[in-house]
Structure 1
Amino acid sequence: MNFWEKVTGSDLTKDWQAFGARVAVLPEDYGEAWDQIVAHLFPYGDFTGRNLTPLLDSALGLLEVSAADGQSIDEVLGDDIPGFCTALAGGAGARTHRDRWRDQLNRNVARKLSRLGG
Structure 2
Amino acid sequence: MSIQDIVEGKKQWRAHAARVKALPPDYQIVYKEMQRYLFKVGPISLSDGSLLPGIVDFFEEGVAAGKGVLELIGTDVAAFCDGLVEDSPTCADVYQASISAEPGPDEK
Q: TM class, shorter-chain normalised?
A: 0.7 to 0.9
User: Which segments of 5 or more consecutive residues in structure 1 lack a partner in the other structure?
Assistant: none
**Higher-RCO chain (CA-CA 8 Å, sequence separation at least 6):** 2
TM-score by length of 1: 0.73
Larger Rg: 1
Structure 1 or 2: larger helix share? 1
Question: 1:45-94: CA deviations, max 9, x gaps?
Answer: 43x8424x311111111001101111111111110111110010126xx5
Which residue among 17, 20, 24 is the counterpart of 2:17? 20
**In the aligned structure 2, how far is the partner of 1:87 from the partner of 1:13?**
28
TM-score by length of 2: 0.78
CA 1:15/1:105 → structure 2, altered by over 3 Å: closer, same or farther? farther
Which amino acid is 1:56 matched to? L
Q: How does 1:1-118 map to 2 (within 5 A)?
A: 3-4=1-2, 9-42=6-39, 43-46=41-44, 49-51=46-48, 53-90=49-86, 95-107=89-101, 110-112=103-105, 116=108
Give the total of aligned pairs.
Answer: 107
Hey, which bits of structure 1, 4+ residues long, moved more than 2 A?
Answer: 8-16, 48-51, 101-107
* RMSD after superposition: 2.7
SS in 2 for 1:110: coil
